Structure 1
Amino acid sequence: MSNILTGLATARREGRPYGIASICSAHPTVLRAALRRAAKSGGPVLIEATCNQVNQFGGYTGMTPADFVAFVERIASEEGVRREQILFGGDHLGPNPWRKEPAEIALKKAADMVAAYVGSGFGKIHLDASMGCAGEPVALDDHTVAARAATLCAVAERAAASAGLPAPVYILGTEVPIPGGADHALDAVEPTAPEAARETIAVHREAFAKAGLADAFARVIAFVVQPGVEFGSDNVIAYDTPRAAALSGLLDEEPGLVFEAHSTDYQTEEALTALVADGYPILKVGPGLTFAYREALYGLDLIASDIVPGYGERALARTMEALMLAKPAYWSGYYHGDETDLRIQRHFSYSDRIRYYWSQPEAEMAVRKLLTALEGVRIPETVLHQYLPQVEPLPAGGADAIVVAAVDRILQVYDRAIALK
């Protein structure tokens, strides 16, 4: 299945572009929806973990790379997905989780993380050494970033050989959007300047050659650039083909490469289709999927409040508000405004910082209470239409199926956009 990644540039060059959605989430319902869709299609599914979610110390999910693979494989087995259908990707692999530490220490931990990812079967590796460590500038120059990426690549190559696994394919690039979306309203986002992208590619090619990694550089399938796509807390910057035309044209000089587009969440099907056609066929999506998950749960929370005696008034939403107020670390530096603004953003922001709380025991208990309250309860079509019109008609299987269907609705948009044209 890995040839779906290595064939992206050739397909674009031959005028038959296709894409692949990169599912960047560790949420079990999101993963189940993506794997269930793969079971139906028989095609590949690309699932990625980030350096902060999953690393050798557990990340914020508590999972190591090997744990994450096993976690996904368990769900895949339940959904009837073959292991060979699943492509695992590591996102932003570099010193980011330890950037407050000196570079020598942070980069050693980053190297150990890369080895753990590759040794666990992650075959698509995004090497991201673009952030400064303690005492360094926030944004590093291309030469420093490229040299560090080459060092991490050498670790990945050794790890694959040691584990008897195929050599990875790589994603490089320094123009990396803020993970999870911008933390403020946006009026516009400028695409990467073609000359900047050209320089980045050249500097990385030179650094890899200098490190004796020319063979590995031949497996670089994409560079991360900014095509002018982003979302803030309450707005989305839509993709505009003419504004990115000069950047897209750079691929004519690099026939073996495509670009990877981060933060494609909330883009329309038309915009996603245009991204694929224009040379950005790897479409990252994460917060948009957990946003749909929260949307469905909150709709069901209102439905249960209306039709289940004794459930309570918005019990789930009240629990999540109390939890986020008690543990503000995941949202307090990202949301801004008065108390009303902050409350709205905590629950309804496109940045979806609430996604960090669903694995907390209080949240898991509240979700179980909601889904249990609706077990065996007939939800009238009129009530579903009031609170969750986006998942009509009512899917078979009750409340659990409604939540999966809400996530799948977003995945369907990506499936249509990435299809071979």
Structure 2
Amino acid sequence: MGVALGELAALRRQGTPKGITSVCSAHPLVLRAALRHGAKTGRTVLIEATCNQVNHLGGYTGMQPADFARLVHELAVEEACPRELVVLGGDHLGPNPWREQPAEEAMAEAEAMVAAYIDAGFRKIHLDASMGCRGEPAALDDETTARRACRLAAVAEAHAAAAGGAMPVYVIGTEVPPPGGADHALTSIEPTDGVSASKTIEIHRRVFAEAGLSAAFERAIGLVVQPGVEFGNHNVIFYDRTKIAGLAQVLDAEPQFVFEAHSTDYQGTGSLAALVEDGFPILKVGPELTFVLREALYALDAIASDLVPDYGERPLMAAMEATMLHHPEHWCRHYHGAKEEERLLRHYSLSDRIRYYWATPEAEAAVGRLFAALKDRTVPLPLFWQHMSAAGRFADRPLDPEAVVIWRIAQVLAAYAAAGNR
């Protein structure tokens, strides 16, 4: 059965911790895989849109919150996933997309975005006002962050009350990793200090009380801290539970809270399970899901190149390369080095900034051509062994290429589910 977000802290205190996977992606195949997995397992399907992907102005996907919610619910119907298992969340909701503007202008946009999320039915809200705007430090102090988060919570409360039904639950925190992972190779990363985490909670509690929002703060279920995990373009920093003794004491003193772990991509089931056991039951994953989506699509592209007359030599990969070169804005500030290095990163970086391009007309056309080329074809087992050895189960029978991609994404989701249900 699905675990409710509000049950996570109590389950930890009882010594029976459970985890919830937070799927942070707007790609329809990733969403379909998550909903299919939920329908199969009966587990909660927590799907979160980020402020950059989806906002009241469209975000890089072109979707407003109501559009995203409609897409998720339509896919849920198609996948026979019960609506009561689906939870919609908003990730990094704050002024981040407008941080090049003065603070008041950026906050006005953030307030409009939060209102749109709540109106669209999102009820898990990560309040992230930690990043400075024009003329401010890159990272703000706890007091400023808390006051801005409180402003956003006031908007959320008013719109939720007007809509009726469930009120939002909140995630707070000031030590928030940037969305999508680091841009450089990492050797180590230090977990948040326990004293700092306690201070963050105390300041938010006081600021919310001063604003008459104590009832909203009582629905704050999670605190974003750095557990010492991260990934860059080339490597992954894996969880080391020996470094978080101070953080564990915070949850003992604050029984309403659990920790929310960002950037858990590529950790693997062992590390994920340790995170859940140690008080991090909300496990956010995004780039890993689209990384394996790209992996599967490129494998099918290679198979079609070998199998289908006149398909061409890796035309999907060529189309993605051309699109990214023509529109470099989503990767040029993040990938550095010689031209050969940049090309490798465009396609294979763990940060997976290619995910920004799958919704372009060029990419959709190339994927459509790939799927049409392989649909109902019989792929010999040696070709799968050559290009995607684990997918041999799809060999020697009429192929549904979309099913191959969803199966690959579901492998990652299964690893997360196993970690959260030990």
Per the normalisation by structure 2, the TM-score is 0.97
Matches of residues 10-409 of structure 1 in structure 2 within 5 Å?
A: 10-394=10-394, 397-409=399-411
- Once the two structures are TM-superposed, the CA of residue 268 in structure 1 deviates from its matched residue by 1.2
1:121/1:165 contact within 8 Å kept = no
- Once the two structures are TM-superposed, the CA of residue 247 in structure 1 deviates from its matched residue by 1.5
Work out the CA distance in 2 between the residues paired with 1:108 and 1:222. 25
- Once the two structures are TM-superposed, the CA of residue 2 in structure 1 deviates from its matched residue by 9.0
Work out the CA distance in 2 between the residues paired with 1:103 and 1:271. 38
Secondary structure of the corresponding residue to residue 394 of structure 2: coil
2:264/2:283 contact within 8 Å kept = yes
Work out the CA distance in 1 between the residues paired with 2:362 and 2:253. 53
Q: State the one-letter code of the partner of 1:159.
A: H
Secondary structure of the corresponding residue to residue 104 of structure 1: helix
1:390/1:406 contact within 8 Å kept = no
1:265/1:285 contact within 8 Å kept = yes
1:323/1:362 contact within 8 Å kept = yes
1:168/1:219 contact within 8 Å kept = yes
Q: Deviations over 1:125-163 (max 9, x none)?
A: 000000111121111110010011111111111010011
Question: How many residues align structurally?
Answer: 420
2:49/2:91 contact within 8 Å kept = yes
Moved over 4 A (4+): none
Please list every run of 5 or more consecutive structure 1 residues that lacks an aligned counterpart in the other structure: none
- Once the two structures are TM-superposed, the CA of residue 43 in structure 1 deviates from its matched residue by 2.7
Work out the CA distance in 1 between the residues paired with 2:244 and 2:356. 33
- Once the two structures are TM-superposed, the CA of residue 307 in structure 1 deviates from its matched residue by 1.0
- Once the two structures are TM-superposed, the CA of residue 355 in structure 1 deviates from its matched residue by 0.4
Q: State the one-letter code of the partner of 1:184.
A: H
- Once the two structures are TM-superposed, the CA of residue 105 in structure 1 deviates from its matched residue by 1.2
2:195/2:246 contact within 8 Å kept = no
Work out the CA distance in 2 between the residues paired with 1:82 and 1:375. 29
- Once the two structures are TM-superposed, the CA of residue 384 in structure 1 deviates from its matched residue by 0.6
| CA-atom RMSD in angstroms | 1.3
- Once the two structures are TM-superposed, the CA of residue 3 in structure 1 deviates from its matched residue by 6.4
Work out the CA distance in 1 between the residues paired with 2:13 and 2:25. 31
1:46/1:86 contact within 8 Å kept = yes
Q: Which residue of 1 aligns with 2:8?
A: 8
Work out the CA distance in 2 between the residues paired with 1:219 and 1:376. 50
2:2/2:43 contact within 8 Å kept = no
Distance change (3 Å), C-alpha of 1:303 and 1:3 = closer
Q: Deviations over 1:161-203 (max 9, x none)?
A: 0111311000000111111000000001110011111111111
- Once the two structures are TM-superposed, the CA of residue 29 in structure 1 deviates from its matched residue by 0.3
Work out the CA distance in 2 between the residues paired with 1:365 and 1:328. 19
Q: Deviations over 1:9-43 (max 9, x none)?
A: 11001100001000000000000000011111223
Work out the CA distance in 1 between the residues paired with 2:392 and 2:220. 42
1:2/1:87 contact within 8 Å kept = no
* Identical amino acids, percent of aligned pairs: 57
Q: Deviations over 1:263-307 (max 9, x none)?
A: 001011000000000000000000000000000000011111111
